Amino acid sequence: MEASAIPKRNQDEGESAIIRLSWNRNDLEEVKMAEAKFKEYVRSGWLAYYLNVDKEKVQIFSFNPDLEEVFLIPLVEGG
């Protein structure tokens, strides 16, 4: 597990930018930073999800420090 509340951008071939946000739930400073970043992105219209034990994406709407890792993806605008 990465011990950083700094978002990491992952971009695979053919995929839009995905931000991986991870933190240590026992480090209150990391939790605060992660929550602030989570709220910043979600308020800007990004979608947030985590991977459950079956590796399925589960959308979330509020920050949960127990998750220790979430992914953020931008909304795609069509034309």
pLDDT at position 13? 47
- C-alpha closest to that of 71 among 20, 26, 9: 20
pLDDT at position 1? 34
Give the residues of the chain that fall short of pLDDT 50: 1-4, 6, 13
pLDDT at position 15? 53
Tell me which residue has tokens 């509020």.
62
Q: What's the CA gap between 39 and 46, in Å, rounded?
A: 10
